[in-house]
Structure 1
Amino acid sequence: MPRASILSEVLRRRFDPALEALMRRMSRHDVRGPLRAALAPHRSRAMRRTIERFEPQITPLEGAVLRGEAAAIERFDALVAEAVATMRSERPRDLDGDAASGLTELLYTVDAQLYRDRPELMDDPSCPEDERTHALDVLDRFNHCTGIYETVMAAIEPLVATAEARGERPIVHDVAAGHGGLALVLAERFGDRVAIEASDLREEYLALGRAQAHERGLSVTFSVEDALALGGLEARGVSVITCTQALHHFPPGMIARMMGEASRRARVGACFIDGERSFTTLGLVALVGALYGRTYTFYYDAVTSIRRMFYEEELALVAALAPGMPAARIETGIAPPSHVYVRITREA
């Protein structure tokens, strides 16, 4: 056996289990760091001011957006993107509206350097299939070790319970599911209690999910679906629509339209879950990514993803501007180790 292969096997057998155990212990704690907490009040105030400024411009477009008029959609997407950019660029103020302290201003300046929108390697069609498959396998193991699947379960459980209380066997559908990693875990955890579906626009990802479901003896329905046109899910009586760890792949206007579409089509509600960007999380993931799995694709995409992610207040802003939102309770929240969610529960 080549020396490199021997070293890789030693690392896989001896080093990886120890690193996975450490990640499991860390997963119980919020790892986003003090910078996020220090700036949260500023972002909440900036969000409310931004909604007040942009809602009057966006509301008149709603009907045309829902009818699928291209010009209205283009204008809507531009306004939502402008709203998020405006919120991000607003300087901190104190409660009286005056300039914030020098320390808060410094923290804001540092924090503003974190966001960066770059494409990920696995989104590139030219990424070799074997490299993509390996990176996705590492991502699945990473998600298990860091408790991300438990975070998702906790976030969607109230919606599943609501569906059951209404006397139905819940159907949970994960959109933009990629290779269906979450759907497979949901099928394992919920068992026959819930019917699980997953969809994506890329058939090659879904093929990976089908193969895994067959190998693990799990019942998951995979289909090609557009997350912006979910009428078929409504016709099938889907109870809960989820979108997990995918929001950072889309521009804000598209996310707003996805939120509105999913909330209208699901019988009970929708839940959108993603990581939240922070310097602490970035540092930890960069370190673990370099040590774990030994794949540059996973390391690069993990670091790139964190820098593209949204803050809780930014997702709350996007949800507030979503078109065609039904009468519903909209909640946002944080979940260890580094995730945020928007949970939308329709009124009965």
Structure 2
Amino acid sequence: MLQLETAGYKTLNDLRSRGEFPPEWTNIDELEQLTDRFMERFRAERFEVSKELGPGFVISELIDQTVRTNERENMDDETKPGEERLESVRALDRMNRMTFSYEHQCDLLMPLTEKLGRSGKTVGILELAAGSGGLAFALAERAQKAGIEVRITASDIVPEMISEGNRLAREKNLPLSFRRLNAFDFEGIEPGSADLVVISQSLHHFTPGQLALMIAQAKRHGASAFIGLDGFRSLLLIGGVPLVASLQGIGDFTLDGLTSARKFYSGIELDIIAAIATGNETHRVTCSWPMTILHVPLNDAGT
């Protein structure tokens, strides 16, 4: 219900036919605000289209507006001590292991990793907003078992997560390192060093404009593809995510689960972000329940 595809694609086609989508930008400094403004306009015009389509479409739109929130998760609260935020991320890590989510995500990422590795060179993978690095560890171990040479960099902005991740990577002797990184400018990332840029379970933590910046920076730094993984926007997950999160017995983490599910992007919203960031529509948005996958090829190798 919360995908709103019929009204959404009709709205987008109307904007495309008028030559207004995707909007053009020339300076990366204007990309963030341009994307945020366009998304606001799209949602407003979609509501008007829903009125034309009939009461059922309007009801779906009103439900979406009711559940949607811009509220920040507790784990993103910069006023909280780093160790407290790290505990929330550890709870997410435990939930992912319990639900075999890392295995699922590796299944989604390995085909492209294998393709990039066929050239014989080491595949550079940069994970943005990696948190405790659960996916990075799982992917490094899966690549080793498959005989694929990788060099994985897991990035975040919380120092405690970086130091903990590097300690564990050394203990496990994996081709993985953690570093502090501003995901919006990639400062310090050598162009061409990352073949694949990944962000998993964190898309909803960022505004449309911020996600567009990440995609554009990945392209500017020579990546072959940008892959975004996150929860599928649906009423089922709005109930299901906090229910599973509650098994950790941590009140703030349960509340974060509810907030996160309310913020998940729909497929068409990710369509819009990727099209604005790249200026074309060669990307794909698919679903592998319960995840939405955004695959943005940035050159021929990333298709």
TM class, shorter-length: 0.7 to 0.9
Q: One-letter code of the match for 2:40?
A: A
Could you tell me how far 1:259 is from its partner in structure 2? 0.7
TM-score, normalised with respect to structure 2 = 0.86
2:33 is aligned to 78
For 1:24, the equivalent position in structure 2 comes to: none
Which residue matches 1:296? 251
- In the TM superposition, what whole-angstrom CA distance separates every residue of 1:12-47 from its partner, at most 9, and x where no partner exists? xxxxxxxxxxxxxxxxxxxxxxx246x322222223
Compared with structure 1, are the counterparts of its residues 77 and 340 closer, same or farther at alpha carbon in structure 2 (3 Å cutoff)? same
CA gap 1:53/1:185 in 2 versus in 1, 3 angstroms: farther
Distance in 2 between residues matched to 1:154 and 1:55, nearest whole Å: 37
Number of the residue aligned with 1:23:
none
Matches of residues 194-273 of structure 1 in structure 2 within 5 Å? 194-230=150-186, 232-235=188-191, 237-273=193-229
Is residue 263–residue 344 contact of structure 1 (8 Å, CA) maintained in 2?
Answer: no
Residue pair 1:328, 1:347 contacting (<8 A) in 2 also: no
Other structure's SS at 1:343 match: strand
Using the alignment, how far apart are the partners of 1:147 and 1:336 within structure 2?
Answer: 13
The superposition leaves residues 257-280 of structure 1 with CA deviations (integer Å, 9 ceiling, x where unpaired) of 111111232442221222233221
1:162-189 deviations in Å (ceiling 9; x for gaps): 3123332211111222222211111122
- CA–CA distance in structure 2, aligned partners of residues 44 and 301 of structure 1: 30
State the distance in 1 between where 2:124 and 2:290 align: 27
DSSP 3-state at the match of 1:299: helix
Q: Which has the larger radius of gyration?
A: 1
Residue 44, structure 1, aligned to residue 9, structure 2:
yes
Shift of 1:338: 3.5
Task: Give the structure 2 partner of residue 25 of structure 1.
Answer: none
- Counterpart-to-counterpart distance in 2, 1:79 and 1:340: 24
**Cα shift at 1:242:** 0.9
- For 2:92, which of 113, 116, 139 is the aligned residue? 139
The code of the aligned residue for 2:142 comes to R
- How far apart in 1 are the matches of 2:19 and 2:166? 43
Is the 8 Å Cα contact of residues 16 and 22 (structure 2) preserved in structure 1?
A: no
Q: CA deviation at 1:116?
A: 0.5
Cα distance change on mapping 1:46 and 1:262 into 2, 3 Å: same
Secondary structure of the 1:235 match is: coil
Q: 8 Å contact 1:286–1:299 — kept in the other structure?
A: yes
- Partner residue in 1 for 2:78: 125
Q: Distance in 2 between matches of 1:301 and 1:286?
A: 8
Distance 1:344 1:187 in 2: 22
Corresponding letter in the other structure for 2:33 = A
Q: Could you tell me the TM-score, scaled by structure 1's length? A: 0.76
Aligned partner of 1:342 in structure 2 is: 295
- Equivalent pairs counted in the alignment come to 297
RMSD after superposition? 2.7
SS at match of 2:52: coil
Code of the aligned partner of 1:249: H
The 8 Å contact of residues 191 and 222 in structure 2, kept in 1 or not, is answered as no
SS at match of 1:321: helix
- CA distance in 1 between counterparts of 2:84 and 2:198 reads 27
Q: Does the aligned pair in 2 maintain the 1:175–1:242 contact within 8 Å?
A: yes
Residues 48, 244 of structure 1: CA spacing in aligned structure 2 closer, same or farther, 3 A cutoff?
farther
Tell me the percent identity: 27
8 A Cα contact 1:42 1:92, kept in partner: no
Q: Which runs of 5+ in 1 are unaligned?
A: 1-34
Shift of 1:327: 8.1
Task: Say if 1:256 and 1:321, in contact at 8 Å, map to a contact too.
Answer: yes
- Gap change, CA 1:204 and 1:84, over 3 Å in 2: same
| CA deviations over 1:123-159 (Å, ceiling 9, x no partner) | 1233244543332222112112334323422332332
* Kept after mapping to 2: 8 A contact 1:241/1:266: no
The question of whether the paired residues in 1 share the 8 Å contact of 2:156 and 2:180 is answered with: yes
Alpha-carbon shift at residue 313 of structure 1 (Å):
0.6
CA distance in 2, matches of 1:258, 1:91: 28
Q: Relative contact order, CA 8 A, sep 6+: which one is greater?
A: 1
Q: Write the letter of the residue equivalent to 1:274.
A: D
